[in-house]
């Protein structure tokens, strides 16, 4: 039996919280549409167009998959039906890497990637997953990086620093 590794946006609480927040915002904006004032209708159209835009991103979460030979990124309709996918061979990459990137707001991000470098410069990168740079997030990232390294047969390059 072949081992596989999957990173799904719909398995993260933030995806569900965003969806609930969009539904609450849609419900909260009802008085803009039901009003007798023309100005409120204008703001209602703007309000609901922003909600529709947010929901368009929400209904198309991404997931990354590998079985050790291929890497696949899929955009899924509500996390169920594949709409778009891109595949690459694992052999096109040299190592698994964790990098920590500072964010302007909130905690930093830790990115789990497969990379290929030429002359010391990264020439290709396939981002497999990201995590908040908390102690718990870094521990999850390091665990997934180890699993990805084991499944792919690629060396694990570096670990993100603890924050």
Residues 128 and 83 in one domain: no
Q: How far apart are CA 127 and CA 95, in angstroms?
A: 12
pLDDT tens track for 134-158: 888 888 989 999 888 888 888 887 6
pTM across the whole model: 0.72
State residue 130's pLDDT score.
Answer: 86
pLDDT tier at 2, thresholds 50, 70, 90? low
Domain boundary among 88, 108, 141: 88
pLDDT tier at 24, thresholds 50, 70, 90? very high
Residues 82 and 98 in one domain: no
Q: Strands 95-101, 109-118: parallel, antiparallel or unpaired by DSSP?
A: antiparallel
Domain hosting 102: range is 93-163
State residue 156's pLDDT score.
Answer: 85
State residue 38's pLDDT score.
Answer: 63
Residues 100 and 147 in one domain: yes
pLDDT tens track for 97-126: 888 887 777 778 888 888 887 777 777 888
pLDDT tens track for 67-79: 888 889 999 898 8
Residues 58 and 115 in one domain: no
**158 vs 21, which has greater pLDDT?**
21
Neighbours of 8 (CB within 10 A): 16
What are the φ and ψ backbone dihedral angles of 76, each rounded to 5 degrees?
Answer: -115, 140
Q: How far apart are CA 98 and CA 12, in angstroms?
A: 19
Closest CA to 76 of 57, 58, 61, 54: 61
Residues 49 and 71 in one domain: yes
pLDDT tier at 163, thresholds 50, 70, 90? very low
Please give the biggest Cα pair distance in the chain. Answer: 66
Residue 128 scores a pLDDT above 70: yes
Domain boundary among 46, 69, 88: 88
Domain count, the chain: 2
pLDDT tens track for 26-72: 888 877 777 676 666 677 788 888 999 999 989 998 888 888 888 89
């Amino acid at each position: 039996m072949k081992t596989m590794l999957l990173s799904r946006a719909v398995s993260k609480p933030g995806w569900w919280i965003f969806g609930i927040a969009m539904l609450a915002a849609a419900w909260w904006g009802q008085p803009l549409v039901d009003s007798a004032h023309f100005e409120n209708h204008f703001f209602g159209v703007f309000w609901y167009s922003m909600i529709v835009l947010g929901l368009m991103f929400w209904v198309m979460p991404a997931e990354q998959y590998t079985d050790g030979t291929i890497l696949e990124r899929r955009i899924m309709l509500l996390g169920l039906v594949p709409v778009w996918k891109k595949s690459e061979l694992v052999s096109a990459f040299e190592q698994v890497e964790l990098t920590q990137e500072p964010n302007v707001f909130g905690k930093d991000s830790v990115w789990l990637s497969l990379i290929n470098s030429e002359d010391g410069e990264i020439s290709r990168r396939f981002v497999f997953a990201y995590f908040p740079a908390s102690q718990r997030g870094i521990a999850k990232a390091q665990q997934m990086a180890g699993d990805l390294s084991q499944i792919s047969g690629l060396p694990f390059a570096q670990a993100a620093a603890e924050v």
